[in-house]
Structure 1
Amino acid sequence: MPVVRRRPVAATAPSPPVTVLRGPWGVTVSLAFVVLAFAAEAPLRDAVAATGLPARAAAGWPRALDAVAMWGSTLLVIILAARLTDVRLRDYLAWRAPQPRHLLLAAGFVLTLYGALVGITLLADTVAIHADHRGRTAPGAGPLAVVLAWWSTVLLAPIVEESVFRGFLWRGIAHRHGAAAALLLTSAVFAAFHWGYWLRGGDVDLLTVAHYLVMGGVLGAFRLVSGSTLVPMVAHALANASLAAFPTVVTALA
Structure 2
Amino acid sequence: MVVTWLIALLACLAIISSGWIARTIIPPADPPFPGPDPGIVLMTRVAMGMQEMGLPATTGFDLRAIERELTPLDELRDAPESRQRTGDLAAHLRLAIILAEFGDADAARGTIETIASFDELPEPIAEDVATLHRFYIVGDRDTPFESGFRERHGWFAELAATYQIDRADSAERAAILDDAVRRVVALFVFGGGFIIASLAALVLFIIAIVLLFGRQIRMRHRIPSDEPGIVNIAALETFTLFVVAFAIIKFASSLLENANLSEGTLALAGIALLGAQWALALLVLWPLLRGVPLRHYTNALGVPRLLHIPREIFAGIAGYFALLPIVVLGFFITLGLTAIFDAQPSHPIQDEMAAGADPLMWLLIFSLAVIWAPFVEEAIFRGFLYHHCRRFVGIILSALVTGFLFAAIHPQGWTFVPVLMALGINFAILRAWRGTLVAPITAHALHNGAILTLAFFLIA
Q: TM-score range by the shorter chain?
A: 0.5 to 0.7
Give the drift of 1:58. 6.5
When residues 146 and 41 of structure 1 are mapped into structure 2, their CA distance, relative to the original with a 3 A threshold, is same
Q: Aligned pair in 2 of structure 1 residues 65, 227: CA closer, same or farther (>3 Å)?
A: farther
What does residue 230 of structure 1 align with?
438
CA contact (8 A) 2:231 2:300 kept: yes
Read off the aligned partner of 1:190 and give its amino acid letter: F
| Candidates 240, 243, 250, aligned match of 1:35 | 240
Residue 211 of structure 1, aligned match among 409, 419, 442:
419
Q: How far apart are 1:44 and its partner, in Å?
A: 5.5
Does 1 or 2 have the higher relative contact order (CA < 8 Å, sep 6+)?
A: 1
Residue equivalent to 2:151: none
Partner of 1:93: 301
Cα deviation for residue 197 of structure 1 reads: 1.6
Alignment of 1:49-60 (within 5 A): 55-56=263-264
Residues 1:77 and 2:283 are matched in the alignment: yes
Change (3 A) 1:78 1:99: closer
Rg: which structure is higher? 2
How many residues in Structure 1 have an aligned counterpart in Structure 2? 206
2:388 matched residue in structure 1: 172
After TM superposition, give the deviation of residue 87 of structure 1 in Å: 3.9
TM-score, normalising length: structure 1: 0.64
1:158 aligns with 2:374: yes
Deviation sequence 1:40-84 (CA, Å, 0-9, x none): 23545749x7xxx99428779x856642422423x3334314542
Query: Quick one: distance in 1 between partners of 2:320 and 2:229?
Result: 37
Distance 1:143 1:231 in 2: 30
Deviations, residues 147-197 of structure 1 (Å, cap 9, x unaligned): 123311221111111000000111111133344432232122212222x32
Q: Does 1:181 align with 2:386?
A: no
Runs (5+) with no aligned partner, structure 1: 1-19, 118-128, 200-204
CA gap of 1:78–1:224, structure 2 versus 1, over 3 A, is: same
Instruction: Classify the secondary structure of the residue corresponding to 2:292.
Output: coil
The 1:143/1:101 distance shift into structure 2, 3 A limit, reads same
Equivalent of 2:412 in 177, 189, 197: 197
- The one-letter code matched in structure 2 to 1:35 is T
Which amino acid is 2:431 matched to?
R
Larger helix proportion, structure 1 or 2? 2
- Structure 2: where are the runs of 5+ without partners? 1-226, 329-344
Identify if the C-alpha distance between structure 1 residues 233 and 55 changes in structure 2 by more than 3 Å, giving closer, same or farther.
farther
Aligned pair partner of 1:149 in 355, 362, 365: 365
CA contact (8 A) 1:33 1:81 kept: yes
Looking at structure 2, the residues matched to 34 and 251 of structure 1 have their Cα atoms a distance apart, in angstroms, of: 34
Output the TM-score relative to the length of structure 2. Answer: 0.38
Opposite residue 152 of structure 1, the aligned amino acid is L
Per-residue CA deviations over 1:187-215 (Å, capped at 9, x if unaligned) read 22212222x3223xxxxx1xx11111110
Aligned identity (percent) is 24
